[in-house]
Structure 1
């Protein structure tokens, strides 16, 4: 034992706890900084490497060697192997543990455990073909096992992360360890080793393998402004586990989730787990207790599709219409040149597997066509048969056709691989049954659904998310089967029972119907909005043309024999003719009562007429203002005979009747058809409209 302890100390510089390193630094902080930079670069390079055939001890050592090759002399060597440093010392670390009460695997058992580890993974086909849930259960066991082996004296955690990321990639899954804080990783590993409790570790793999959970973690860590830089790594951050009750104080709230601080663990919860309406009143610091809802049952299960085999890929390429057309052309030319359409079949099969050979075969045909087969026709000295001449003429065409064939095969190959990847992604997406809220929403009538959406905007987002999930899973062929209600075909493509396929058809038709309702409502709203916008534009345009002539709905100018169009009124001051414009129909006939639209008017002198919105008195030489009409009937008559309001005969009487207006400022004269203002015009609130008289014909005002 003393010898073993002495050998383990040789990993460190004498008198320090700093590992011997290629940087020759004894400063722990400098070592960590330089090592982190080199390890980050090595990780990027390893992620670009092709996947290994076997996930065993050799691959584990390869990862360690790549990560720490620039840092440690012993990179890639396990701690049970005696390593000799360049300074002449030797090191070995057979004993290693978290604390005095718990140790990792003893040095003499490391190789045995690593061998068993690799064999078990290989026996399970490297975890291929498993659903995500099954993969999580298996990978938890293997992660705990490799962590217990702890084969290296330093760097085990980083090696494990990269090893299992590559294992997941090979199995068609994704793990993102960047979302696991140091505090959480240490906690789950300690719980697994000291208490044989794998549940926290399995929860960790659930969080970093499920796309929705990963999204919650990413959003929180990206927007976690409540923590200073570096503090997050010291906290255990998890996503709420379905069916497990939690309680604590609210630390942060967003539209989609909120964070609870429970016993120094930050738990991210989805807002959908709250009762409807609770989120509006929830605030930071509130104490909450809830049980996240269980994931609804599965409507369409995920289906794992492996990578394309070479034979499958070749079959897909050969069925491509462009490839088949090109092959037909090659056979036609081959018949002319060699007398046999199948003469180049062998070389074309080679091109199908490896398109880059097409260029070589093309050059070979052009330079030495006889190397493929005997040319058609006969040749004797300088004489050539017609068939031979035709064969030689078509050699160049065949060479070009083969080269073109290689390019077409390459394009078809890429298209086939891309199509398969899309199928893999589609098949790997499971669709859950609708939540309780959505199920209730689907059962409502169209009017009730409209009311529900207006009261709960979040319901529309839930519906759109669910429709998006269906669209991601259903292929064009699936959609066709749903339209035709072909449940047998749908059950085969989705790998479900016929009864389940029937439920899928019904649900998709319901969602499609609701989607059409929403689109119709949106279209109707847009039409109304455009109409309102058009009305406002027209109104603003009319005001801009003549802003001084707008009075309510009436704008009027008494200009003889000219057409005026303002607001809703179009008027022509043409005597003794009937004019009909807009809402006004008017005849300039004296002493007769005219009632058209909103206007009732009598051209009777010295009498007050009140009709609709018009109050008018045909009083000579004085200004009258009633309602929306400002009018002056001045006819060169003696003002002594003027009358304004019934029995009022003088300016004094006018002033007593209407003290708010200064009638003393107005001088009524015989020589003009309008009052002469003796003071500033701003003191007189009246405007005037000229009424002229010519040849005993009266031009009447019109409103």
Structure 2
């Protein structure tokens, strides 16, 4: 019975202890809040600073100036031996030492100001995020993990650009969540990863990342656990071609008087992705489209030439970015030239030299016969395009009318009084038949011009639809050598000579006269407009064509040398049986080898045989290369 009774004094003690505990918790919270507030001026949200500035905007501007100056100096500094938390703290100190006493200090420990106040912040949460940053007691361990991850990956050295982006994205997200400093974390991360990229042989240009994109990227990572926007961001600012079009976009916005606060979230189109939106314009190398309120900028060379030439602002656009491995395959894209419309065909026919010449001849004769060069302008039956037999018959019928009843059209020039004709009348009558013939000739000139225009357009369609692939690795390697080494290499490789000749012939056939002229004048803007590609790609075309042209004299010289030796061989009375000398062909092509043993006719004959064989082999290789190209084209067409 006694054992089951409750002790009133014990119950009271428990309640009191709970109250004491709650009181202690409140006291701790109050102390922590006060310690956190000690970073700021009393009753203010302005951080204590060395300038003693108490207006937030003024402090922000001053701090930005200091950081910008420090960034310039840091970018000029040599790379550190190790990229770790020690270097991270050093960067923070360099950036903010002019502004804050606690520059370079991480927030796992309290900080004592010069005025004796102690500041400490355990939890930090910013309004743009739902998730708070790491508690201060996790900062030290987080920095150790950063050091370990970087050391294990050898500071990301030796990685491809894509691999670097993959690893750096994860590190940036973790460091952002860790938030090791009271303020200035993003700017410190920026210079840290710029330097890390430089040490790994890559480049990151954060200057092209807008505030909206930063917020979108960090919110996706912090609140949604999605690292893809960060990978996308780092890929955009590390890829040279994407950097080019981002620069172009940013400069275009600035010319319009817009800064990053005035336009939408902007990202570069990703490989393999299809976008549906509205076309918003283009520059020399990039274009922009609006996809559900987001600006997507893409490389102009990834559009078809037809799109580049015909798209207008406001047009709907569906666009698929080619995969990386496919982007490097095409030098000159194929273009599907549309058939001529009736109005286009008619304009070209009537503006053709032959038709214009016929019209001038008719006008000259009309002046002689009727005294008015334009008298038939509205009376000649209209020859509709495309030309039909009926319209030709009508034109011939009108020509007979002029011949048989010339005055049914208009009174003849000159006078005829009682059979007495003036010189002008006689001259007019003498030219009635030539005028009739000129009218018939005009009708047939229109028909022939139509045929010529259609044939020329078909040839143009066939020329433009052929795409030219990038040069092979062998040709690229050859072009990268000094000219003297190039000559030595091609003198020893008939197969490479054949491949170059075929490749350059294909380029020459693909380009129009005006495009060849643009290349000659080194005018990439004009070439890009004609082909329907980016200016950057047009510059690459000019470069490759120039390199091929520089090799032409050497190729022609070798071709001439082979032909001379071949002719010498066929005319020689001492014809030695040809042997399979494929292993010695390269030696026979070297100039030094050809000059050896001039006095020995047998040796001369053997050398001639080898060179002749090389000449024949080169021609065969040229044909084989051309056949392979044709077969590949057929397969692609199928």
For normalisation by structure 1, the TM-score amounts to 0.47
- Structure 1 unaligned runs (5+)? 299-431, 442-446, 488-501, 527-703
Distance 1:11 1:484, change over 3 A: farther
Aligned to 1:483: 490
Shift of 1:55: 0.7
The offset of 1:450, in angstroms, is 8.7
Q: Where does residue 366 of structure 2 map in the other structure?
A: none
1:168 maps to: 197
1:524 to 1:230, Cα distance in 2 relative to 1, 3 A: closer
Deviation of the 1:454 alpha carbon: 7.7
Counterpart Cα distance in 1 of 2:47 and 2:255: 36
CA distance, structure 1, for counterparts of residue 193 and residue 49 of structure 2: 27
Alignment of 1:190-229 (within 5 A): 190-224=219-253, 228-229=257-258
After TM superposition, list the pairs within 5 Å mapping 1:282-431 onto structure 2. Answer: 282-297=311-326
Distance (Å, rounded) in 1 between the aligned partners of 2:43 and 2:59: 16
Shift of 1:464: 9.4
Question: Quick one: which of 179, 185, 207 aligns to 1:156?
Answer: 185
Aligned-residue offset at 1:439? 12
| Distance across 1 between alignment mates of 2:271 and 2:30 | 51
The alpha carbon displacement at 1:98 in A equals: 3.4
Partner of 2:13: none
* Contact residue 235 and residue 264 of structure 1 kept, 8 A: yes
Q: Pick from 474, 480, 490 the counterpart of residue 480 of structure 2.
A: 474
Equivalent residues of 2:190, 2:206 under 8 A apart = yes
Count how many residue pairs are aligned between Structure 1 and Structure 2. 370
1:252-651 superposed matches below 5 A? 252-297=281-326, 432-434=328-330, 437=333, 451=460, 470=476, 474-476=480-482, 483=490, 510-514=502-506
Query: Could you tell me how far apart the structure 2 residues matched to 1:472 and 1:16 are?
Result: 68
Matched-pair contact (CA < 8 Å) for 1:296–1:435: no
Q: Deviations over 1:132-172 (max 9, x none)?
A: 11111111111111111110111001000000000000011
Q: Check the 8 A contact 1:253/1:283 in 2, yes or no.
A: no
Gaps of 5+ in 2: 1-28, 338-455, 519-638
| CA distance in 2: counterparts of 1:472 and 1:155, whole angstroms | 50
**1:89-136 CA distance string (max 9 Å, x none):** 111111112357411111011011101101210111111111111111
2:93 is the alignment partner of 1:65 = yes
* DSSP 3-state at the match of 1:50: coil
Deviation, 1:251, is: 2.3
Deviations 1:17-71 (A, max 9, x none): 1111111111111101111111111011111111001111110000000000000
Conserved 8 A contact 2:463-2:509: no
> 1:45 is matched with which residue?
73
Instruction: Return the alpha-carbon distance in structure 2 between the equivalents of residues 435 and 269 of structure 1.
Output: 18
Change in 2 beyond 3 A, CA 1:519/1:184: closer
CA contact (8 A) 1:181 1:234 kept: no
**1:57/1:231 CA distance change after superposition, 3 Å:** closer
Alpha-carbon spacing, 1:96–1:465, altered in 2? closer, same or farther (3 Å): farther
Provide the secondary structure at the position in 2 that maps to 1:277: helix
Deviation of 1:194 (Å): 1.3
SS of residue paired to 1:268:
strand
1:247 aligns with 2:143: no
Structure 1 pair 200–519 and aligned structure 2 pair: CA distance change class (3 A): closer
Deviation, 1:2, is 3.2
CA distance in 2, matches of 1:232, 1:453: 48
2:105 counterpart (62, 77, 87): 77
Is the counterpart of residue 189 in structure 1 residue 218 in structure 2? yes
Question: Is 1:16 the counterpart of 2:44 in the alignment?
Answer: yes
SS state at 1:290 partner: strand
Compared with structure 1, are the counterparts of its residues 167 and 485 closer, same or farther at alpha carbon in structure 2 (3 Å cutoff)? farther
Name the structure with the higher strand share.
1
Q: 1:497 maps to what in 2?
A: none
Residues in 1 aligned to 2:267 and 2:122: alpha-carbon distance in whole angstroms: 35
SS in 2 for 1:97: coil
CA contact (8 A) 1:182 1:234 kept: no
Compared with structure 1, are the counterparts of its residues 263 and 23 closer, same or farther at alpha carbon in structure 2 (3 Å cutoff)?
A: farther
Q: CA RMSD in A?
A: 4.0
**1:35 has 2:63 as partner:** yes
SS of the residue corresponding to residue 61 of structure 2 reads helix
- Cα distance in 1 for residues equivalent to 2:516 and 2:200: 49
Contact 1:181 1:233 in 2 (8 A): no
Q: Following TM superposition, by how much is the alpha carbon of 1:277 offset from its aligned partner in structure 2, in angstroms?
A: 1.6
**Match status 1:105 vs 2:111:** no
Q: Find the residue that maps to 2:212 and give its secondary structure.
A: helix
Say which of 259, 265, 280 aligns to 1:236: 265
For residues 110 and 34 of structure 2, the distance between their equivalents in structure 1, rounded to whole angstroms, comes to 12
Query: Which whole-Å CA distance do the structure 1 matches of 2:94 and 2:149 have between them?
Result: 25
TM-score for both structures, normalised by structure 2:
0.52
Contact 2:334–2:464 at 8 Å: present in 1 too?
no
In 2, the alpha carbon distance for the partners of 1:198 and 1:84 equals 37
What is the rounded CA distance, in whole Å, between the counterparts of 1:480 and 1:97 in structure 2? 67
Structure with the greater relative contact order (CA < 8 A, sep ≥ 6): 1 or 2? Answer: 2
1:485: how far off?
Answer: 7.4
Matched residue of 1:11: which SS? coil
Change in 2 beyond 3 A, CA 1:194/1:507: farther
Separation of aligned partners in 2, 1:28 and 1:222: 30
3-state DSSP of counterpart to 2:164? helix
Give the 3 Å change call, closer, same or farther, for CA 518–252 of structure 1 in structure 2. closer
CA contact (8 A) 2:85 2:143 kept: yes
